[in-house]
Chain A
């Protein structure tokens, strides 16, 4: 199992161009689509189909929407809003997220709200915040009085490092976070990602990404839990 974990880490570390979800300095609206191969020890292997839109409304505000369908029947729908405050070097931003996780396979849905503050510049992006999760049985039983579970406070964080300035036509980044566009994990479940992108021309971009999600890191007995490899394209207007 350790070899498997090491292999996944090496794969992630060596991954070339992947998707840059939000490029600092981008002013183009864009849509994107990705197809992914996923594996975790709970579901086994499954495929994911992701669709997203990025909307830089103006210099001080941008939005993002994400939708994921999964053959493992755990889907998600998320919206992110991001007021931005440019400073002489880089920019501060506040990120609000609303993420609905649909788990028809298990008869549960969850709704996670997150609010984070962040700072990003050409080579680095960092954010930290709090999230709240509501977990509901599905279908919801309106006559029961005990089928919503609230996890009120969870810390969320993200640190992403880019090898080139974020405005470059190609880039690679390494990221550690408990947030992806499709899931906000508990604080002690970090997810390690490698992302990259390549702009074919002014409109078309290809991207490739990989992630590894171990479990038991803070049990001091970390083992492989999940991995994902995604490829896709974006069209920027």
Chain B
């Protein structure tokens, strides 16, 4: 009994620690110290109200969106730099997306941000990197750091082509596995508004995945069942074409009716199969390919 007790306590401590700084946040498992979803939504909405939503102009009717997730920058950022180099070099990429877990834990935000400031973009084009928050961007009370650099985690952006066609990308915050009442209401209203706008493509981007179909749910937690079905219903009801997410570190593509849910591989340097996705958005349904990076670990 004594051994079981010691093992159980050790397991909980290991679950709740940041191995880089040896900070512990056991209480986070029972009552998280980071801002909750409704507080974060307030921060995001405040920024949205002041600055509005962005419109990005593509230079062709068919353009590329580079999508990465789970970079977990801590002691190294090799794959992250490769990703930034790749999307900035692509003349036809007006938009790159990161689906959360930019950093592994606290104290790495500025180290993560530096390549974005130093890697030059192709002088012939402009590009934008958009993000949502992941659980690693939140715990140990990191929301303030996220907001300092990225301002908002619940918003949408429109990509407009030279012929005036428009694609809508909606970003929602699922950093702790739920949407919360305010964000759900906002998502419903935004999708209802989108119904009347004749967008060519409608994509929802977030961190936490809906399903877990591969052989384990070993290391990632997702949403409660009620939330999963309610969100899925909403996405299908409004004919969302794709749902892009991360969190699981393993690629998984699920077709459900007309909608496709894609869990993008992790870009973490210590990941055995790091990869990112390049989606081609034209007049046809969105197509995509994955770019495998050379693993940095055995």
Seen from chain A, the residues whose Cβ lies within 8 Å of a Cβ on chain B are: 1-2, 5-6, 9, 40-44, 74, 101, 103, 105-108, 110, 135, 137, 141, 144, 146-147, 149-155, 183, 185-189, 213-223, 225-226
Contacts and interface: CB of A to CB of B under 8 A. Distances in A.
Given A106-B233, A216-B32, A42 B135 contact: no
Give the secondary structure class of A's interface. mixed
Q: Which 3 A-B pairs have the closest CB atoms?
A: A188-B221, A221-B32, A216-B176
Contacts of B30: 9, 214, 217, 222
B211 to A, nearest CB: 6
B152 interface: no
Interface of B: 15-16, 25, 28-34, 36-39, 135, 138-140, 175-181, 184, 211-213, 215-217, 220-227, 229-230, 232-233, 236, 254-257
Given A42-B230, A146-B256, A186-B212, A218 B221 contact: yes
Give the one of A9, A153, A155 with max B CB within 10 A: A153
B178 A41 contact: yes
Nearest to B38: A1
Contacts of B226: 40, 42-43, 74, 226
B29 A215 contact: no
Contacts of A141: 257
18 contacts: A42-B224, A42-B230, A107-B233, A151-B211, A152-B215, A186-B222, A189-B224, A217-B221, A219-B138, A220-B15, A220-B25, A221-B33, A221-B139, A221-B175, A221-B176, A223-B176, A225-B178, A226-B226
Given A41-B180, A151-B212, 19 more contacts: A2-B36, A40-B224, A41-B178, A41-B227, A103-B229, A137-B256, A149-B254, A151-B211, A152-B215, A153-B216, A154-B212, A188-B222, A216-B221, A218-B221, A219-B139, A220-B139, A221-B135, A222-B176, A223-B36
A103 B181 CA distance: 19
A183 B225 CA distance: 9
Contact of B175 (A153, A183, A185, A219): A219
